[in-house]
Structure 1
Amino acid sequence: SKSIRPFRSSEEYLEAMKEDLAEWFNTLYDLDIQVDTFLESLETGCHLCRHANNVNRTALDFQERHPEAAARMRVPQNEVVFQAKNVVPGSFIARDNVSNFIQWCRQDLGIQDVLMFETNDLVLKKNEKNFVLCLLEVARRGSKFGMLAPMLIQMEEEIEEEMRDQMADGALGTRRESRDPQAGAYPSRARPITLCDLKNLDELVREILGCCSCPSQFPMVKVSEGKYKVGDSNTLIFVRVLRSHVMVRVGGGWDTLEHYLDKHDPCRCAAL
């Protein structure tokens, strides 16, 4: 098994997300996208546009099967026109494909600007972060219609379900059988990817915290499986294992635990 790799750059947490997205694309479309060439594999826009049209088909099928639920959702419908044959990376056709995908993201999905990327961000590899965040958001939207989601999105749904259970139970740490209203409504929802095993998570967290040799370490106290209070303010965070990475649920997204500590542990902040 892989060892937990320490992240030293403020941007390396993107590697964990790219790994997840590459596996997701490969599983959905029987591709062979590698993490090291993730952007290069998608820069012609062909796979992106094909996926957009797949989301459209799945969303329309969902709308037919669950009209009441669909009425409360934004359902994409406009087909994305693109050229798939003999597309040269960086060419006008490639740029046009990517531009059409971006337009679909904005107009059909309504993805907010803070999560969007521009054509040059992918073609010229100028803004890898926003490209990755946009694909994750596209995956979130598709998941609501029953499409297979990347593991990060599945873990988000697992955490959201746990939070709903806690609010219903009125006590932290209590877990009941799933009351996710989507579980019964979406019988075709695909979840073949196995979620992380929390059994060894605390050991991995302690290993990362142990990298700091200060007499008084940054406080990170386990509340329950996958849930910790951190810092003097006792902020509650959810932690999960994604392959060789320990990930923290932050706001509406994710970070690696190492990068999170780099930003919040005063000792690590001073060392950067």
Structure 2
Amino acid sequence: SIRPFSSSQEYLYAMKEDLADWLNTLFELELTVGNFVPRLETGVILCHLANMVRHKATEYLEDHPGVRLSVPGDVDISPSGNAEPGTFRARENVAMFIDWCRRRLGVSDSLMFETNDLIEGRNERSFVLCLLEVARRGAKFGMLAPMLIQMEQEIEEEIREEAPPPPQRRVCDLSSLDDMVRELVSRCTCPDQFPMLRVDEGKYRIGNASTLVFVRVLRNHVMIRVGGGWDTLEHYLDKHDPCRCMSRGKCCLFMSL
């Protein structure tokens, strides 16, 4: 099917989709992008996630005593299990998770969210970025990671070893990663097209400065590694390709599986 997305919506959709699948695997849930925020805003699942990270850290450090990491917290968080969305108990649960992230896990303020960002839907992006950072920290203790974090690990390994990246799973039978990249770049109609040149599988030089970037496929999204995080390639191009900046609010058609 075809869904209308603005590129900024696609960026958030891709991350929520990945995190939903991750939490479903960890806790045997049935999260979707549609119910992602409503199911998490009671804070109960978030507190269970914090406890799982703490337990994994304890186990990992017992098996790896020489590793210079610390267990995030001394005791489990005890959420109010019967909290309803929007209630004081839900806010209390979310506040406990936020406090654990900041004080125990050491998540920086730039990656934190506030209670109302989740409860009142004021800033889903901050909430999603915080969850990704929790997953990133958990992965250091051997915890199962979302696909985005696994791709980060592959890229970091590739940089260290200067080895070719592992083969990417195709989104569909008709398009390779390079085909998808070229299709997105070709939407620039300027005579002097915004440059994005393939260097190797999953590796491109982009823009007039020829910045080296890594590109991966996440389900039906083309993702680009940007700094310490991720963006969809389409959203990135909307922000950096001069001809697209003029019509940034324009929706695109996005093909789903």
Aligned-pair CA distance for 1:231: 1.1
Cross-structure match for 1:24? 22
Secondary structure class of the residue paired with 1:271: coil
Secondary structure class of the residue paired with 2:209: coil
Q: Would you say 1:122 and 2:98 are equivalent positions?
A: no
Aligned 8 A contact 2:12 2:125 in 1:
yes
Aligned-pair CA distance for 1:207: 1.2
Q: Which amino acid aligns with 2:118?
A: L
Q: Would you say 1:244 and 2:220 are equivalent positions?
A: yes
Aligned-pair CA distance for 1:6: 7.3
Instruction: Give the number of aligned pairs.
Output: 245
Aligned 8 A contact 1:45 1:94 in 2:
yes
Cross-structure match for 1:132? 128
| Residue deviations 1:126-181 (CA, integer Å, cap 9, x gap) | 11011000000000000010110000000000000000012xxxxxxx4499xxxx
2:87 to 73, 91, 112: 91
Cross-structure match for 1:58? 56
Cα–Cα, structure 1 residues 247 and 113, in superposed 2: closer, same or farther, change >3 Å? same
Aligned 8 A contact 2:7 2:232 in 1:
no
Which runs of structure 1 show a deviation greater than 6 angstroms over 4 or more consecutive aligned residues? none
Cross-structure match for 1:270? 246
Q: How far apart in 1 are the matches of 2:5 and 2:76? A: 38
Aligned 8 A contact 1:60 1:77 in 2:
no
Cross-structure match for 2:237? 261
Cα–Cα, structure 1 residues 221 and 6, in superposed 2: closer, same or farther, change >3 Å? farther
| Residue deviations 1:90-119 (CA, integer Å, cap 9, x gap) | 111111111101110011110000000111
Same amino acid, percent of matched pairs: 59
1:148 to 123, 127, 144: 144
Q: How far apart in 2 are the matches of 1:19 and 1:10? A: 14
Q: Would you say 1:112 and 2:88 are equivalent positions?
A: no
Q: How far apart in 1 are the matches of 2:246 and 2:117? A: 32
Secondary structure class of the residue paired with 2:246: helix
Q: How far apart in 2 are the matches of 1:202 and 1:238? A: 12
| Residue deviations 1:191-249 (CA, integer Å, cap 9, x gap) | xxx96459810011011112223332111000000000011110011000001100000
Cα–Cα, structure 1 residues 195 and 135, in superposed 2: closer, same or farther, change >3 Å? farther
Q: Which amino acid aligns with 2:135?
A: A
**TM-score, normalised on structure 2?**
0.89
**TM-score, normalised on structure 1?**
0.85
Aligned-pair CA distance for 1:36: 1.2
Cross-structure match for 2:40? 42
Cross-structure match for 2:206? 230
Q: How far apart in 2 are the matches of 1:131 and 1:60? A: 26
Q: How far apart in 2 are the matches of 1:236 and 1:114? A: 25
Cross-structure match for 1:163? 159
Aligned-pair CA distance for 1:121: 1.0
Q: How far apart in 1 are the matches of 2:10 and 2:216? A: 17
Cross-structure match for 1:14? 12
- Which residues of 2 match residues 184-223 of structure 1 at below 5 A? 196-197=169-170, 200-223=176-199
Which gives a bigger RCO, structure 1 or 2 (Cα 8 Å, sep 6+)? 2
Cα–Cα, structure 1 residues 257 and 7, in superposed 2: closer, same or farther, change >3 Å? farther
